[in-house]
Chain A
Amino acid sequence: MTADFLILSLLTLVGAVAAVSLRNLVHCALALAAALAGLAGLYLHLQAQFVGFAQLLVYVGAVAILIVFAILLTRGSDSEPDGPPATRGWVPGAGLAAAAAGLVVAAILSSRALAPSLQSSPEAPVRAIGEQLMTRYVLALELIGILLTAALIGAVIIAMTLPSRRSAEHKPQSRTSIPDL
């Protein structure tokens, strides 16, 4: 329980709470980015350097931007001011979430401490990670590659406007390429 751990976990948790509770969706996305950056800091604190940087690159650099784009494309930032940000059944939802978190917290608090590792400060050198990826986990790596390709194609096809039947009668659109954003 060092100071940097406390600060980073506070940043992560406050960011997370803000991300699910703020009214303005863009603020939510920015708070999410802050929470995920805090989490990357926690990974660095836990000496998982490579994972921390990958987290920053993927989440802050890509996922947060993607979410922001989606918010602007769906006009979510100027949602109707009268409606509440939560669904009608938010009370049981929040209750369920609190119960789940409480259960896990109770389980953690009542568990006995793990036998400490022999190494006081383990490290994960990039070379070792690369070797593991290319030997023991090579199948998983290839599968991830296929998954990402499939997700890429799938996302493009889902988000693409196919020429609807009505507009096709009037003016047939020949091109269905990815739009220039």
Chain B
Amino acid sequence: MAEKLDQIFVQAKHELVRWLLCHVPGAWAEVLSALLSIATLLVAFAALFALTTLLERKGLGRIQNRYGPNRVGPFGLLQPVADGIKALTKEDVVPRAADQVVHFIAPLVLVVPVFLALAVLPVGRNMVVVDLDAGLLFFFAVGAATELSVFMAGWSSRNKYSLLGAMRAIAQMISYEVPLILSAVTVVMMAGSLSTVRIVEVQAGFSGWLPHWHVLTPWGLAGFLLFLIAAAAEANRCPFDLPEGESEIIAGYYIEYSGFKFALFFLGEYIGLFAVSGLAITLFLGGWTAPLPFVQWVPSYVWFFLKLLSLIAFFIWVRGTLPRLRMDQLMSFAWKFMLPLSLINLLAAGLWRFLPEGLTRWAFCSLLLAAAYIGLGRSLVQRRNLGRRTYRFAE
């Protein structure tokens, strides 16, 4: 029964493909299967996007001691629908000075790669759109296109705020992409594979009560935290939301976007957050595997989406709690703290791999990481450079 419930979507797809093949030639089988998977993925994540916008506004409202949206539908549940209608019916204003073509293409260059990145995330047992041999590399490769989109949006608007926001965003994304990839590399070293499906399989199974998740090892915990911070920066989430800081540069690179194009940016940003959170789950939190042995009867996709929702809730909580960083703090945090720590984490993962199993490797790796954390943190706090800033390139 549990098995059946777990594979219900996979079975349903097979049945549907078989039924459709009665009407179309057999050569279409693969195309149909792929199309069905893609359609399901699009619908699921678009629904999650709608849910998240509501959750975020409600959650932030509660943190700030107010109600949040509660007018449309019961408890404001239909608010996303109202938002969608509003975005679709608004006038699409394009500045006269804007570079029309680039201005038009920029939202597409953001949304398409971000959805592509979802394709390699295993959302359940046997539930991945495409299991690539180099899945992780694919994820980061398509993620790279978002930087270009941000630049296109900021530059083509011919607005100083949007250009400032774009430059901030690119500098931030490039800086935080390094620790993001380096902390993902530790998992690749352990799993011995770039395939996301394989990485989840490595983490399946239990020793006693504890699952074999990577986050439950010293290097995995450090890697997970580094990955989460870098992910927040990549997705322009608070406290790293300088590129779109409303109080400083209004809305950053998408200041000149309105109507549906703005909605596309909004969508792309959230889907990017889901994708990178999904990758964090896949790499460190065991993907779709159950956290405890006696709840394995719960279907795998439920676990994946539960983990995703809790990560999203965490990000909303952080957004409601932490103030925005300053640009130089952001940069020195990335280069003087995150980067050295992720390199040391790489070393710790290597040691973990080659030291004999037992308490020694636990103690050794934990001590190494704790020492690095304390040392780097100390030096970052002590050498806090609060003097006057020098501008080298703004001449």
| Interface positions of A (Cβ within 8 A of B) | 26-27, 30, 33, 37, 40, 49-50, 53-54, 56-57, 60-62, 64-65, 68-69, 72-73, 77, 125-127, 161, 173, 175, 179-181
Contact = CB atoms under 8 A, between A and B. Distances in A.
A5 B31 CA distance: 19
A180 B140 contact: no
B167 A49 contact: no
Interface of B: 102, 132-134, 137-138, 140-145, 147-148, 151-152, 155, 167, 170-171, 174, 177, 193-194, 327-328, 331, 389-393
Q: Which 8 residue pairs are nearest across A and B when measured between Cβ atoms?
A: A61-B144, A56-B141, A179-B392, A53-B141, A57-B141, A53-B137, A181-B171, A180-B331
A61 B173 CA distance: 10
Contact of A62 (B143, B144, B193, B393): B144
Contacts of B152: 30
B133 A57 contact: no
B254 to A, nearest CB: 18
Nearest to A51: B134
A64 B148 CA distance: 8
Contact of B148 (A33, A57, A77): A33
A33 B151 CA distance: 12
Nearest to A49: B134
B167 A72 contact: yes
Contacts of B138: 53
B134 A180 contact: no
A61 B177 CA distance: 10
Given A49-B132, A49-B133, A56-B141, 18 more contacts: A27-B102, A33-B148, A49-B134, A57-B140, A60-B141, A61-B143, A61-B147, A61-B148, A64-B148, A65-B148, A68-B148, A68-B151, A126-B194, A127-B193, A173-B390, A179-B393, A180-B327, A180-B328
A57 B151 contact: no
Contacts of B194: 126
Contacts of A69: 170
A54 B134 CA distance: 10
A54 B148 contact: no
Contacts of B102: 26-27, 30
A181 B137 CA distance: 27
B364 to A, nearest CB: 25
A141 to B, nearest CB: 15
Contact of B137 (A30, A54, A173): A54
B187 to A, nearest CB: 15
15 contacts: A26-B102, A33-B148, A37-B145, A40-B141, A53-B134, A53-B137, A60-B144, A61-B140, A61-B141, A61-B143, A62-B174, A72-B167, A126-B137, A126-B193, A180-B389
Given A53-B138, A65-B170, A125 B133 contact: yes
Contact of B145 (A61, A68, A77, A126): A61
